[in-house]
């Protein structure tokens, strides 16, 4: 690989991680910095819909970085969610919309973190700050990321900044955001071809709180019961993951994007935290969370402060 600054999002990349990496590459080139977008995992069906719509290829896949490699992180800063070797890489910049944890550098860096619904919203503002023109390609990439992370502005993570950005990007892209967005989100809910192991890794993030390791995985669907047809297989795969990674808790959220609810499966020695976190008993390792769709704002904080 060329010795360029590498831009990437988190492992098991979602649409924001992929699209924001690509947009960040475009922004860097406009500023005059050479950088290359890459990815840390397979492209999911929702993101592939976006790439197909634009007729472009996904960024190159990498599995590790060498010591001293210059990198830019988007949509994450947690080393547990980043590439192998990140501890010895030279982090030049971070653009993120998550909390800051498990992050340390030896050198100063550019760090932008805003409590928005999507990383792409921050990048949209940076285009505006530099007075750079946003062309149709990057408008669709950013709009797609915002649609994905905010579930078409229905997620509680949505801010007025996301709404304003999406409204402007819709005009530039020349598309109907509601029609395009619903089609894009539905593309990501086709789960039949995935093995249960793949299902658990479509959008999974690992966390570590004072030595207690836990993982929260999430899939979007239009039919929760359809996913639960494989409940036994899913639980077996979760038990295997817990054993292999030494986790204290694994939470699998099956989110209905049309009705804005989630069914969760929770396994592990710390599974009782669900009762404290959400006030709901687990029945056969499952419980229904009405109005819960966001891992970042609704699921993770409740678990993190009670585990």
Question: Rounded CA gap, 144 and 51, in Å?
Answer: 10
**What are the backbone angles phi and psi of residue 44, rounded to the nearest 5°?**
-80, 170
Domains 5-186 and 196-304 share a fold: no
Among 226, 145, 151, 232, smallest CA distance to 191 is for 226
Can you read off the two tokens belonging to residue 35?
Answer: 């950088």
Residues (pLDDT < 50) of the chain are: 1
In 70-84, which positions are buried (b, 16+ CB within 10 angstroms) versus exposed (e)?
ebbbbbbbbbbbbbe
286-290/261-267 β-pairing? antiparallel
Query: On the CB side of 180, how many CA atoms lie within 13 Å of its CA?
Result: 22
Adjacent-strand bridge partners of 117: none
Domain boundaries defined on the chain: 5-186, 196-304
Model confidence, pTM: 0.84
**Count, residues in the chain:** 307
The Cα angle at residue 125 between residues 101 and 32, in degrees rounded to 5: 90
In 103-112, which positions are buried (b, 16+ CB within 10 angstroms) versus exposed (e)?
beeeeeeeee
- Can you name the CATH fold of 196-304? Diaminopimelate Epimerase; Chain A, domain 1 (3.10.310)
pLDDT, residue 206, reads 94
Among 30, 26, 45, smallest CA distance to 184 is for 45
Can you read off the two tokens belonging to residue 50?
Answer: 């976006």
pLDDT digits (tens, 9 = 90+) for 223-267: 999 999 999 999 999 999 999 999 999 999 999 998 999 999 999
pLDDT, residue 101, reads 85
Q: Rg of the chain over CA atoms, in angstroms?
A: 19
Q: Which CATH class is domain 5-186?
A: alpha beta
Q: How far is CA 235 from CA 62, 240, 285, 292, in A?
A: 30, 9, 9, 21
pLDDT, residue 3, reads 61
């Amino acid at each position: 690989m060329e010795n360029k600054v590498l831009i990437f999002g988190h492992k098991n990349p979602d649409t924001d991680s992929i699209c924001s990496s690509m947009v960040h590459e475009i922004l860097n080139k406009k500023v005059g910095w050479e950088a290359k977008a890459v990815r840390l995992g397979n492209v999911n069906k929702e993101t592939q819909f976006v790439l197909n719509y634009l007729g472009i290829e996904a960024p190159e896949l990498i599995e590790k970085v060498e010591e001293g490699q210059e990198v830019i992180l988007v949509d994450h800063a947690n080393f547990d969610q980043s590439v192998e070797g990140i501890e010895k890489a030279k982090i030049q910049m971070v653009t993120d919309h998550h909390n800051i944890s498990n992050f340390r550098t030896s050198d100063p860096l550019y760090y932008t973190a805003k409590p928005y619904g999507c990383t792409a919203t921050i990048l949209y503002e940076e285009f505006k700050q530099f007075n750079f023109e946003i062309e149709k390609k990057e408008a669709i990439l950013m709009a797609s990321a915002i649609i994905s992370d905010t579930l078409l502005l229905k997620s509680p993570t949505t801010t007025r900044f996301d709404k304003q950005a999406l409204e402007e990007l819709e005009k530039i892209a020349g598309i109907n955001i509601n029609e395009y967005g619903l089609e894009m989100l539905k593309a990501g809910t086709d789960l039949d071809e995935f093995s249960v192991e793949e299902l658990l890794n479509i959008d999974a993030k690992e966390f570590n709180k004072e030595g207690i390791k836990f993982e929260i995985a999430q899939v979007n669907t239009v039919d929760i019961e359809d996913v639960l047809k494989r409940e036994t297989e899913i639980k077996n795969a979760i038990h295997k993951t817990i054993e292999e990674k030494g986790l204290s808790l694994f939470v699998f959220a099956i989110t209905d994007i049309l009705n804005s609810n989630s069914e969760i499966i929770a396994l592990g020695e710390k599974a009782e935290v669900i009762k404290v976190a959400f006030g709901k008993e687990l029945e056969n390792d499952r419980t229904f969370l009405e109005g819960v769709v966001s891992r970042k704002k609704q699921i993770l904080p409740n678990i993190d402060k009670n585990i």
